[in-house]
Structure 1
């Protein structure tokens, strides 16, 4: 999951801009946040990001833009772990993806 999210951030962040990864701990969940200074995601595309084979930029082909299953797999894995995923983005400013896993009490 982390590899997919970081690879997306690096792919869509212009050279010279940054990608940040941090650990998050909040309200019974722990996870990670990947924030980039990339091209961002258009608001109209945000509701469809977890659909299989969806690619926001229709001009990309499979050689440069993937086939659109990465985030759908991440979402399925998060659901399997009873986790949460949040995406925030501003077009031409960047994207932030945070995944949260529920904490389990040790016995």
Structure 2
């Protein structure tokens, strides 16, 4: 048995109070098991919630079914920018303005 390839999706425009555990339970009830659900920082957290969902590639069709999601929810492949996911402290030659681009923990 080999390693299962994971696909990553960005789901947004869910109710702002939606939590990762609730979304994971919702997916399980809809036969999408072993999903990894991570709540993301939304641009407008008072308006909607955003999540990264990782599933085995065998669940791609299931997670992309429009009838799985409430009206208005968007789902797309998740792409991250490695240059913005940099945990290193800013070097001395970086300006303060550049350092502020990184999300605060």
TM band (smaller chain): 0.3 to 0.5
Larger strand fraction of residues = 1
TM-score normalized by structure 2? 0.33
TM-score normalized by structure 1? 0.32
Question: Which structure has the larger Rg over C-alpha atoms?
Answer: 2
